[in-house]
Amino acid sequence: MTPPLRTLLVAECRDGAIVPATWRALSMAHAIGASVDLLVLEPQSLADDIRGVARILTPSEAPPATALAQAAYIAHAMDAAEPAYSHLILPATAWGREILPRVAARLGAQPLSEICAVTDAHTFSRPIHAGNAIQTLTTDRWPILLSARPAAFAPFTPPDDAPPPSVATLAPPTEPADDPVRVVDFQPARGERPDLREAAVVACGGQGMASAGDFTLIEQLADALGGAVGATRAAVDSGLAPNDWQVGQTGKIVAPDLYIGVGVSGAIQHIAGIKDARCIVSINNDPGAPLHAVADYRLTMDLREAIPQWLALLAARQ
């Protein structure tokens, strides 16, 4: 029997703020049609303008920033809830992927990860085989533990008259995790450019950039468009670009309004990371490049001519 629908969404917190992927996961929570509470493990990340949730749960003191300790708090919030939560949702970010299996182990539940669509309260879809197939799963075992693929959901927009949520204090778990591991430092790779996973524009260079010597043209294009720089694995492996720029199955999943692939052939492992881009531009001197086949706009041209011309046009407009 389907219990009353109540979802607990767990916010990812970083640097004293809630990470935007949380608001995308909130859209998925509302697609289930349940009333949504938000668990914010770091009270210092709370903001006054949070809307679209019925209640905020937060501990009086943040748990240690380790996966086991945070999982213990989340499992405790689920166990202590009265009435019980029907769903638990975390964003399917690197953080969410660390935490969800640990919560599932504590609750003795099977998590459904990387969800990209909601059919009803117990039927969900997710991409498999590097995004080449969509699998639909159903379960009648409650609570249902889910992770929401950020690229698949737009950030939740609450109605203008959405009331502020109430705030309740979450007591610490009765059985805290005895975690021997402590995070002593966290240095995100960060520059002036937007985060690849959140950027509206991504200029992505492939191995073809070797013909230009380096990634300078790609970086100039990204900067001229206010975007982030991405790279294929081949470009990373050959030392043209740093690891954290890699886009694809084993890199970052991006969902920009505009993705520009320059000297990118379009291997399936790369396409897996750009499937949710709203507009794909491919610049390649090979008319048969697979990226051309999936692109909205394709330019068959040497990138060493195409990018300087584009940059000149952008400069002329400023």
- The annotated binding site is made up of 232-233, 246-250, 263-270, 284
Nearer to ligand FAD, 123 or 250 (CB): 250
Report if residue 246 touches ligand FAD, rule: CB under 6 A.
Answer: yes
Considering only residues 21, 265, 274, 282, which one is a binding residue for ligand FAD as defined by CB under 6 A?
Answer: 265
Please answer whether residues 249 and 130 qualify as being in contact, where contact means their C-beta atoms are separated by less than 8 angstroms.
Answer: yes
* Length in residues, the chain: 318
- Residue 22 as a binder of ligand FAD (CB under 6 A): the answer is no
Query: Per rule CB under 6 A, is residue 303 in the interface with ligand FAD?
Result: yes
Among 62, 267, 294, 299, binds ligand FAD (CB under 6 A): 267
Tokens 């938000």, residue located: 38
Binding residues for FAD: 232-233, 246-250, 263-270, 284
Of 75-83, 98-106, 158-166, 281-289, the window that binds ligand FAD (rule: CB under 6 A) is 281-289
Strand partners, 298: 282
Under rule CB under 6 A, residue 282 binds ligand FAD? no
The span from the CA of 198 to the CA of 17, in Å, is 15
Q: How far is the CB of 233 from ligand FAD (least distance, A)?
A: 3
Closest CA to 99 of 63, 72, 59: 72
Q: Please, which residue, 23 or 259, has the CB nearer to ligand FAD?
A: 259
Which residues lie near ligand FAD (CB under 6 A)? 206-208, 211, 232-235, 246-251, 263-265, 267, 269-270, 273, 284-286, 289, 302-304
